Amino acid sequence: MRISVKAPLKAILAGEHAVVYGYPAVAVALDTYVRVTAEPGDDSFRVETELSCEGNVRAEITRDGNVKGFRSESLHEELTYVATAVRKASEEFDAPPSNLRILSEAPPASGLGTSAAVTAAVLLGLAEVSGVNVSREEIRRLVREVELEVQGKASWTDATVVTYGGFVRVSGREFELIEPERNPVLVVAHSQEPSRTGEMVRRVAELRERLDIVDGVMELIGELVDDLEAALRDGDLRTVGELMNANHGLLAALNVSTRALEEIVHVFRSAGALGAKVTGAGGGGCAVALFEREEDAKRAVETLSALGYEAFVTRPSPCGVKTE
Ligand code: MEV
């Protein structure tokens, strides 16, 4: 029995970082996926993955989540999500030793929620292998628990959007699916620098300890998320874009932008984007832009590719993690 599962990656349209402190965020699942196949194996969990920048990698994971035989620190970090998901699946579903193959259409540490998508897909794959009927709410809860364990601090954003798909407003553990009046064209560009969520969340927490204005910045982000959500529901993409630009400025104030991300954001705007911003934890990773016209989006991709950035046009995906 071989189970195939896919989970969407995500972009945050507004609200990252502030959402960790209880303010709302709006995120969207992308038509770009992580795919996992799971089948019963011999005596341990064997993982084969192309998640790593080090190419195709094999690992062995024990029931209690230990990764065997790896020396590379960066690789270990990526596999920690998989290992923690394996341990959860052993505890919650009594998952049998299985072979897992993981493929991602985007690089890890890109700010696109690869870790949450991989975690959700591994959990659903192992639930299916175990013959356990798992609800979406259970998957969402487990993904959040894995993120919390690995990162130290995590909002419900990534866990919710990879589980349910579509446009989602998240506030604390509450969420609401948004039906936008019009579907935008989205472009994602990778700065070619890694974005480490745990580290960036810690850095923002430290800045918040030192500077009184950080709470005010987060409050403003929360306010613009409410306005962005209303504009999205009304199909007012121009206002959505303007608010994304404003959010980018506030993320820069939190010091999570980089020179490469600034360049990408400005290329997007020159190519006619309605709005562009860092997406996810920043410090590297991706920027996302909203376009009205597909031809402008394609032009932005060409310009960014010529500058050495990896960029692609994508669309919102209505589906969350599911078997294929
Ligand atoms: C990560 O995609 C977004 C952050 O807000 C962290 C979180 O929400 O857990 C930076």
What are the per-10-residue average pLDDT scores of the chain (324 residues)? 96 98 98 96 88 72 81 64 95 96 87 94 98 97 96 93 98 96 93 92 97 98 98 97 98 98 98 98 97 96 97 95 97
254 ligand 1 Cβ < 6 A: no
- Do 73 and 170 lie in a common domain? yes
Query: 14 with 137, same domain?
Result: yes
Same domain for 243 and 215?
Answer: yes
- Does residue 306 lie within any of the structural domains? yes
- Number of the ligand 1 atom closest to the C-alpha atom of 10: 2
Regarding whether 194 and 154 lie in a shared domain, the answer is: no
Query: Are residues 32 and 126 both part of a single domain?
Result: yes
Shared domain check, 233 and 299: yes
48 and 149: one domain? yes
Residue with CA at minimum distance from ligand 1 atom 9? 154
Tell me which residue has its CA closest to atom 2 in ligand 1: 280
Half-sphere exposure at residue 22, Cβ-oriented, CA atoms within 13 angstroms:
2
Six-digit token pair at 23? Answer: 């303010």
CB 21, CB 105: distance < 8 Å: no
Specify the pLDDT at position 134: 97
Helices 136-151 and 73-93, packing angle to 10 deg: 140
Q: 93 in a domain, yes or no?
A: yes
Q: Which atom of ligand 1 is nearest to the CA of 116?
A: 2
Of 177, 198, 229, which closes a domain?
177
Which pLDDT value is given to residue 79? 85
pLDDT at 49: 84
Q: Is 105 in the pocket of ligand 1 (CB under 6 A)?
A: no
206 shares its domain with 165:
no
Instruction: Report how far residue 3's alpha carbon sits from residue 238's, in angstroms, rounded to the nearest whole number.
Output: 42
Pair 108, 115: CB distance under 8 Å: yes
Produce one character per residue of 276-307: b if its CB has 16 or more CB atoms within 10 Å, e if not.
bbbbbbbbbbbbbbbbeeeebbbbbbebbeee
Around 48, how many Cα atoms within 13 Å sit in the side-chain half-sphere? 8
Whether 239 is in a domain gets the answer: yes
Q: How far apart are CA 60 and CA 41, in angstroms?
A: 12
Q: Is residue 269 part of a domain?
A: yes
- Residue 211 confidence (pLDDT): 98
Residue 228 CB less than 6 A away from ligand 1: no
Please give the distance, rounded to the nearest whole angstrom, from the Cα atom of residue 208 to the centre of ligand 1. 15
- Annotated catalytic residue, options 158, 234, 236, 296: 158
Answer whether 15's CB lies under 8 Å from 24's CB: yes
* Residues 24 and 150 occupy one common structural domain: yes
If you measure from the C-alpha of residue 17 to the centroid of ligand 1, how many angstroms do you get, rounded to a whole number? 5
Are 126 and 209 part of one and the same domain? no
* CA geometry: angle 104, 195, 272, nearest 5 deg: 85
In angstroms, the CA 52 to CA 226 distance is: 36
Domain final position from 147, 177, 207: 177
The number of folded domains in the chain is 2
The whole domain housing 242 covers 180-314
CA angle 172, 315, 154 (to 5 degrees): 25
**What's the pTM value of the predicted model, to 2 decimals?**
0.94
Residues 40 and 78 in one domain: yes
The tokens of 17 are what?
């970082």
If we measure between CA atoms, which residue out of 270, 317, 273, 279 comes closest to residue 292? 273
**139 and 77 in one domain?**
yes
Residue 75 is predicted with a pLDDT of: 59
